[in-house]
Structure 1
Amino acid sequence: MSMIKKSLAMIVLSATTMSAYANQCSTVRFADVGWTDITATTAVASELLKGMGYKTRTDLLSVPVTYSSLANGDIDVFLGNWMPTMEADIAKYREAGTVETVRANLEGAKYTLAVPKYVYDSGIKRFSDLVKNADKFKNRIYGIEPGNDGNRLIQSMIDQDAFGLKDFNLVESSEAGMVSQVARAVRRNQWIVYLGWAPHPMNQAVEMEYLAEGDEFFGPNYGGANIYTNVRSNYLNECKNVGQLLKNLEFSLEMESALMEDILNKKIKPSKAAQQWLKNNPQLLNKWLNGVQTLSGDDAIKAVSDYVNANA
């Protein structure tokens, strides 16, 4: 009789554990660090999950808080691990096993200092050319939000007097603030140097060029980068269905640029831009939803298709 009770207790405990995991997995918690490319990809992932019957939550956090939140279990997924420039941000968490990397979700990105083309054509082609024209740049390099990895790299150059930049100042604001400052400078034909990256509509909004010589700080090939998906420890095992989706998710430069154009310049809400993009590009659902089911175990491709067609 005691063995029967023990077996029943184990069954109840197993069912309770499975139920706890199901409840834990039914809401997927994302971090967004305020960059439009990550806002766009997070919106796409969120809309896929909503179509599959999941709930999603996105918190706007700085890069350092994103990683501490992944480590302590407050966040499940981060789609914006730019590498190699974010190595210092993720290293200690990766080594501790509190943050895991799923895969590269975008390849062929870039991330380094840039100038308008008319400044480049005037002879500013390398990092070392900046100090020779410090007065024209007003000794300023424009970055984005405080705590950002790119800002940190710029400040490191200044602190180390790399390229003779010790008298330059980092101007921190936000992605939108920096882009507005660049647009204003271009309208006035003023000189400006700033943190540039692709994918981003800034590459189409103004004629711009990336500067050489930044390999030591931003990496080779003009800050050539891949962007990775991170999750909290053991998330892929606990939430296998969402984990399979994350293993499948891969974006393109063209896709992200198009979505960012909709969000930044056409002022379309990220969720609506993602819905419209998914409706117009249904062929990707077969790849992204391969081996994936809805929360209730049904056909994910049909469910997501029905969802975006009804909402886009």
Structure 2
Amino acid sequence: MPDDESPTLLRRQLGRFLRDQREIKGLIIATAAQEIQLSPAALQRLETGRPQKLRKQDVRALCELYEVDTDETEKAIDLAAQAAKNPDITALGGLFSNAFNMYVGMERSARSLITYHEQVPGLLQTADYAHALISAFYRDASPEEIGRRVAIRKTRQAMVTRKRSPLAMEVLLHESALHRVIGGPRVMATQLHELAELSKLPNVKLRLHPYSAGMTWGILHGPFVILDFGTDRNGKQVEPPIVYVEGRLSSDLYVERPDEVQRYHELADAVRAEALDEIGTRDLLRRVAREFQA
């Protein structure tokens, strides 16, 4: 896909939101386009984030057609304005509501991902492990709010365990995640046993990066996720791959340039070369879990 035809991050997010809303209403592109007097080709370009003039009236008309509530409609219009002004933006803070959660939207659309983590990634967390982490971060939240966030995280995990077209995950997990106690020994034992079981799924590859490997490339590079969106029936990329680097206390980072995405693939290759194999990984998970149970 030529660079001038590549969808940028904000356009992709807006297009994904509008596509989801259209599908919720059960409309095909041709029908939705006719209703707001837009060509089907123009609506398809809007939904796939391809460069074109973004008109607020088109976004508003689509949201009205899809019966999107007022708050989300205004967020969609604001996102269109930001995409028009800042097409190459890669660092984003908390700009979006749940419907516009940038990473969750991309994760839901991805066909596969490669992730390096130093804690159990969200898609593989038990409810108790997730509760401990979320409670520690949202320290002033009510128990109801914490419970809601845990439920959302657990709902996301269905994309890994579903029978039809599950998300393909390769998890490169640093050994420190096994020893950093989250929620207490009982929680850790259950979580590590669960990881060992999940690693048997045909769509999940889990390998531990041991302390003995030292620092890959001589740096503490931190967690990252490489998301791939697959190809269509003609072999064309549905969306370009992207790398997500969580901002934690600041803005999240999204890497889109092909040469930079390739650099993260090379980093993943280097970690993979130093990691335990899948059987050795399961053995170590179970051994540490038993230590927590002792």
Asked whether the two chains share a fold, i.e. TM above 0.5, the reply is no
* Structure with bigger gyration radius: 1
Q: What TM-score range do you get, normalising by the shorter chain?
A: under 0.3
TM-score, normalization: structure 2? 0.26
Greater relative CO (CA pairs within 8 A, separation 6+) = 1
